[in-house]
Amino acid sequence: MMASHYIQEATYWAITPNGTGGFTFSSPVKVRTRMEQRQEIFRNAKGDEVLSQAIFYVDADVPLQAYIALGDQLLVADPTTITSYRVQNFMKTPTLRGHDYDRKVVV
């Protein structure tokens, strides 16, 4: 998808296990996006069929299991305190010309 189509901003937080069954959040990272609030059937990392809540087309790689939220949320340390989604699947495909990638985040 062309960069000019990314008309929105999103913020994601990668997670790191903390050794006690929970996790800590990384510093928030802002990306350009186009979000579609639609449902789509996909296979998660375990191979199960799941129904998505939304799709984010982004201009940078986003880690699996990260949290992502629409808008500039750089001042938010804990994404569970706002409307955010858990990244269930990330797909990265070279564009037809091979100069860039199309990136799709399924939540």
Q: What is the pLDDT of residue 21?
A: 86
Owning domain of residue 83: 3-106
Q: What is the pLDDT of residue 98?
A: 82
81-88 contact pairs (CB < 8 A, 24+): 84/13, 85/53, 85/54, 87/12, 87/62, 87/63, 88/42, 88/44, 88/45, 88/50, 88/52, 88/64
Average pLDDT over residues 49-72: 96
Q: pLDDT tens digits, residue range 73-90?
A: 999 999 999 999 999 999
Confidence class for position 1, pLDDT limits 50, 70, 90: low
Average pLDDT over residues 29-37: 96
In total, how many domains does the chain have?
1
